[in-house]
Amino acid sequence: MSIWFTEELHPYYRKGIRIKKILADEQTQFQHLQIVETEFFGKAMILDGIIQLTERDNIGYHEMIVHVPMLAVGKPKRVLIVGGGDGGSLQQALRYPSVEEAVVCELDQRVVDLSREHFASFGDPWADPRATLLVRDAFGFLEENPGQFDVIISDTTDPIGMAERLFSDEFYRLMVRALTPNGAAATQCEQPFFDTELIKQIYRSAKMLTKNPAYYYANIPTYPGGGIGFMYVSNTPWETGLQTPFPPGVNNYINAEIHKAAFALPEFFRKELYG
Q: How far is Cα 71 from Cα 143, in angstroms, rounded to an integer?
A: 26
Marked catalytic residue, from 57, 150, 155, 195: 155
Rounded CA separation 70/79 (Å): 9
Is 155 known to be catalytic? Answer: yes
Q: Which bin fits 228, alpha (ψ -120 to 50), beta or left (φ > 0)? A: beta
> Three-state SS string across the chain, please?
CCEEEEEEEECCEEEEEEEEEEEEEEECCCCEEEEEEECCCCEEEEECCEEEEECCCHHHHHHHHHHHHHHHHCCCCEEEEEECCCCHHHHHHCCCCCCCEEEEEECCHHHHHHHHHHCHHHCCHHHCCCEEEEECCHHHHHHHCCCCEEEEEEECCCCCHHHHHHHCHHHHHHHHHHEEEEEEEEEECCCCCCCHHHHHHHHHHHHHHCCCCEEEEEECCCCHHHEEEEEEEECCCHHHHHHCCCCCCCCCCCCHHHHHHCCCCCHHHHHHHHC
CA end-to-end span of the chain? 51
Q: Which of 185, 167, 194, 168 is nearest to 9 (CA)?
A: 194
Q: What is the set of active-site residues?
A: 155
